[in-house]
Amino acid sequence: MKKVDVIIVGASASGLMCAIEAAKRGRHVVVLDHANKAGKKILMSGGGRCNFTNYDVSSENYISHNNHFVKSALSRFTQWDFIAMVEAYKIPYHEREHGQLFCDDSSKDILNLLLNECKKNNVNIQLNTGINHIEKKSEHHFIIKSNKDDYHCQSLVIASGGLSIPKMGATPFGYKVAEQFNIKVWPTSAGLVPFTLHNQDKEILSDLSGIAINSIVNTNNKSFRENILFTHRGLSGPAILQISSYWTAGEAIEINLLPDINLLEELNSTSKKQPQIKLKTLLHRLLPKRLVNAFIKIELLDKTLQEISYKQLQFVASTFQSWTIKPNSTEGYRTAEVTLGGVDCDALSSKTFESKTVAGLYFVGEVMDISGWLGGYNFQWSWSSGWCAGQYV
């Protein structure tokens, strides 16, 4: 049986950050991960360029049953602190819209930064290591049995992430540990995930695959303005991913496909100035042809504006500006970027991330009931929570 100060389960964003900080304090740290490679999600993130943080981070960008919990950690290890690490490693990066920061070259740069810091501070990373048994012997004394070595440790950090992308090694491990120690876990669901559609909608919309439109998407009093993307399975794109985290199954979403104009006014005024113009001519100027033709019957599209009643114009305007659609479901954890729900924040200290009831047990990163918006917020949470816990484990 090996004796170490800190065992961290999960060699990815939050776990590696916690390991680096704890090791800098002189703690003997071992990180265990069942995967054959550290940081797989970092590597696949941001389309291979890792959206590692955002210039504008606040508690508003996170979803949790305790909306205040993130504030402390986000203010102690900020986006500027992580940017400083990126700059110290001379990693080239750039800003995209909404303050999102991406690597110029590859997500590998971020993972290499973390692995290099681990190496510099003598963090021992054990891959291909599954955990078979966890036992609390006494205050600050745990026994961890793995498929390789067995350990005694003072602090046990669960950084095993959520359920998204099981193919990349996601498991419910962290929730099971919480349950073992009677720590509440909020029900989980897939977030930042595309919607699938009911068959009748799929039939109408399947021809639109590949069309992207800047739109405002609403549900549950939350709205996002970004692109939506029609796919052969349903609806995707950043605005859809964002709203999916606020969507409740069975509810409709409302989409304004022309957020910069008042379509009814436009139809009315054009009808006065150019009564002979056909409805389709006007609409095809504003929206992709395929989309217009899928949404409005050809008989109406072929009419001139003077032939169309005010009621019909209202119908056309609301079709594009208050398009209401009830998703069938989401694509689920297979493609979700995050997991909503998780280990209850109220059970943890927002300063140390230690359980309030089990001394020496910590939870960091996505395993917690904290989910960020699209835009680098999830990694920032991993950096901030991992860094804070690293000061205490």
Q: Contact positions toward ligand FAD, by CB under 6 A?
A: 9-15, 32-35, 40-41, 44-46, 50-51, 130-131, 159-161, 164-165, 169-171, 173, 337-338, 365-366, 376-379, 382
Q: Tell me how far apart the alpha carbons of residues 299 and 319 are, in angstroms, rounded to a whole number.
A: 16
**Nearer Cβ to ligand FAD (51/219):** 51
Question: For tokens 């068959």, what's the residue?
Answer: 199
Q: Tell me how far apart the alpha carbons of residues 197 and 203 are, in angstroms, rounded to a whole number.
A: 9
Q: Tell me how far apart the alpha carbons of residues 135 and 209 are, in angstroms, rounded to a whole number.
A: 51
Give the residue from 208, 161, 142 showing the smallest Cα distance to 33.
Answer: 161
Minimum CB separation from ligand FAD for residue 376, in Å?
5
Minimum CB separation from ligand FAD for residue 144, in Å?
11
**Nearer Cβ to ligand FAD (218/382):** 382
Strand-pair partners of 371: 63
SS3 228: strand
Minimum CB separation from ligand FAD for residue 360, in Å?
19
Minimum CB separation from ligand FAD for residue 336, in Å?
7
- DSSP label at residue 163: S
Minimum CB separation from ligand FAD for residue 126, in Å?
10
SS3 65: coil
**Nearer Cβ to ligand FAD (85/159):** 159
Q: Are strands 185-191 and 338-343 parallel, antiparallel or unpaired?
A: antiparallel
Minimum CB separation from ligand FAD for residue 10, in Å?
3
**Nearer Cβ to ligand FAD (215/384):** 384
Q: Tell me how far apart the alpha carbons of residues 127 and 326 are, in angstroms, rounded to a whole number.
A: 43
**Nearer Cβ to ligand FAD (151/377):** 377
**Nearer Cβ to ligand FAD (79/215):** 79
